[in-house]
Structure 1
């Protein structure tokens, strides 16, 4: 078995590599060559933690495995480690033997940002100039860096429930040489692309806050009950997702479906746009929305890529099991 420790991930996995891996696996999902296993996610009754498993099998890439981990809300304050903790395990699809164990914390951040940036690359207007961020936590910085590489943006605007956190994303805008402006939610009407990345259980962004032609990537809702945007917004948008079953059960679409505003058939796989079997954006006035719920195959794809890089650079640790 090969081990790639968490400490090595930052020097191995680039945003470009993560984008390529996630784009390929989304395409494989849409063509039926890859599928995700049912998600297990449980409150364990200790340290207020949520723990679970995501996995799947990609026949095209011959990638089989799972990610184990979750959210420990007291970690940062009590133990000075990040709240999200995960590890990816890869298995040989021919024999079932364990092939690799990979630190999953940074990879999770990179694959989540890659998913939204894939949606921007394929669905945002080509002339998009203003990038909007709803949320300014740790993951928001990864989201913004990846998003800014997809279009020639000229300005970044941002909103966060706790405004004192906005310097997190202002710093990223500064790195890119772009002006940053803190706005009220109504100010998001100026944005051509909006990424929402919060852990909210009540909508912040409303349909009235979004202008025609905007592309939204909603990346924070991955659990039943969570919600970042008004359900009515999905009713006026063309909705895309990583996996339809997750979108309508634990993603943003769960609320619009429950309210009868859209049906499951109104939610499309982003992989179909990548494959060319769905046209994607049809006009400059159309609102497009990507419901990024996070699938196990994303984790496996970036983990497999990082293992290859680690072997190539002589960093992977080999152990007998």
Structure 2
């Protein structure tokens, strides 16, 4: 078994490699060559933590495995980030474990890559203003990926706790872009692409906030009850996601679905756009990508990083 520790990931996985891996796995899902297994995600009744498993099998890349981990909201007092996970890969021919990979940075990179892939295919033409909702740990990764694969000229942002906006300002400065903190009505009116990455349990971005051609990447909702968007906004948009069943059950579209404002048939897997079976944005004013986070994304980036680690002598081989 190969082991790639968390400490080695930053020197191995690039945003470009994460983007390519996520785009490819979305396409494989759309072609029916890859499938995700049912998600297990539970409150464990200790440390306010959510813990679970996401797994799947990609026959096109012969990638089989799972990610185990979750969200520990009190990890700051331990000097750790709240999201903790490890990816395990298995040999699809024998079932033997083939790799264990630190999943914290990989999760941030693949989540950012997913929203960037959605913007590539769904953003309005000439998108220049990036709107950020949320300033937590993953927001910097989201901004870097969006700017790397887009052509933005400025960034505007909002966060429930304004003191945290310095993370967005610092990241924008690192990218050479001006940043301005704004309220949500202004963000919805001015941003061409909006990325929401919060842990909210009630809508933040309302239908009336969003004006003009806009693409929204809703990346924060991955659990029953979480919510970032007004269901009325979801109902008037053209809807895309990583996996439809997951989106309407634990993703952002769960609320509009429960209220019968949308049906499963109103939601399209992004992979269908990537492989040319769906027109994508078309004449829609607003598009929304619900990034619920699927196990196949984790497996794709983990598999890529294992190969890079082996090539560069940064993977450790152990017998089990």
> For the superposition of Structure 1 and Structure 2, which TM-score range results when normalised by the shorter chain?
over 0.9
- Unaligned 5+ residue runs, structure 2? none
User: d(CA) in 1 for partners of 2:81 and 2:135?
Assistant: 16
Partner of 1:120 in structure 2?
119
User: d(CA) in 2 for partners of 1:32 and 1:153?
Assistant: 34
Partner of 2:176 in structure 1?
177
Q: CA deviation at 1:151?
A: 2.1
Q: CA deviation at 1:260?
A: 1.2
Partner of 1:148 in structure 2?
147
Partner of 2:242 in structure 1?
242
1:102 aligns with 2:104: no
Partner of 1:163 in structure 2?
162
For residues 239-296 of structure 1, give each alpha carbon's deviation from its aligned partner in whole angstroms, at most 9, with x where no partner exists: 000000000000111000111111010000000010000110113x621100000000
User: d(CA) in 2 for partners of 1:76 and 1:226?
Assistant: 22
Partner of 2:282 in structure 1?
282
Partner of 1:267 in structure 2?
267
Q: Is the 8 A contact 1:49 1:72 kept in 2?
A: yes
Q: How does 1:1-321 map to 2 (within 5 A)?
A: 1-77=1-77, 79-188=78-187, 189-283=189-283, 286-321=285-320
User: d(CA) in 2 for partners of 1:172 and 1:214?
Assistant: 23
Of 205-214 and 115-124, deviating more is 205-214
User: d(CA) in 2 for partners of 1:235 and 1:74?
Assistant: 35
Q: CA deviation at 1:12?
A: 0.1
Q: Is the 8 A contact 1:126 1:151 kept in 2?
A: no
Secondary structure at 2:138's aligned position in 1? helix
Secondary structure at 1:88's aligned position in 2? strand
After TM superposition, the runs of 4+ consecutive aligned structure 1 residues lying more than 3 A away are none
Q: CA deviation at 1:147?
A: 0.6
Aligned pair count reads 319
Secondary structure at 1:306's aligned position in 2? helix
Q: CA deviation at 1:212?
A: 2.4
For residues 37-76 of structure 1, give each alpha carbon's deviation from its aligned partner in whole angstroms, at most 9, with x where no partner exists: 0001111111111111000000011000000001111111
Q: CA RMSD in A?
A: 0.8
User: d(CA) in 1 for partners of 2:172 and 2:47?
Assistant: 35
User: d(CA) in 2 for partners of 1:127 and 1:142?
Assistant: 22
Secondary structure at 1:11's aligned position in 2? coil
User: d(CA) in 1 for partners of 2:166 and 2:223?
Assistant: 28
Secondary structure at 2:202's aligned position in 1? strand
